[in-house]
Amino acid sequence: MKLVKAKKLRGTLEVPADKSISHRSIMFGAIAQGTTTVHNFLRAEDCISTLNAFKDLGVQIEDDGEVITIHGQGVAGLKAASHPIDIGNSGTSIRLMMGLLAGSNFETTLFGDESLNKRPMNRVMLPLRAMKADLNGENDTEFPPITIRGVQALSPIHYEMPVASAQVKSAILFAALQAQGMSTIIEKELSRNHTEEMIRQFGGKIDVTDKTITLTGPQQLQGQEVVVPGDISSAAFFLVAGAIVPDSEIHLTNVGMNPTRTGIIEVLKQMGANLTIEEEDQQNQSADVTIRTSNLQGTVIEGDIIPSLIDEIPVIALLATQAHGTTVIKDAQELKVKETNRIDATANELRKMGADITATDDGLIINGPTKLHGATVSSLGDHRIGMMLQVAALLTQDDVELELPEAVAISYPAFFEDVKSLTLEGSD
Cite the annotated binding site for 3-phosphoshikimate by residue number.
19-20, 24, 165, 167, 311, 338
Distance CA 79, CA 102 (A): 13
Q: Which helix (H) or strand (E) holds 376?
A: strand 375-378
Q: Which helix (H) or strand (E) holds 214?
A: strand 212-217
Q: Active-site residue 398, yes or no?
A: no
Question: How many CB atoms lie under 10 A from the CB of residue 201?
Answer: 17
The CA distances from residue 399 to 1, 69, 389, 392, in Å, are 10, 45, 12, 11
Distance CA 395, CA 124 (A): 40
Is residue 69 within 8 A of residue 98, CB to CB? The reply is: no
The CA distances from residue 153 to 60, 102, 131, 137, 149, in Å, are 26, 9, 9, 21, 12
Query: 46, 288, 311, 418: which one is catalytic?
Result: 311
The CA distances from residue 410 to 47, 198, 313, in Å, are 8, 23, 18
Residue 410's nearest CA partner among 122, 42, 117, 136 is 42
Sequence ranges of the binding site for phosphoenolpyruvate: 19, 91, 119, 167, 342, 384
CB-side neighbour CA atoms (13 Å) of 176: 26
Is residue 99 within 8 A of residue 173, CB to CB? The reply is: yes
Distance CA 30, CA 16 (A): 23
Query: Active-site residue numbers?
Result: 311
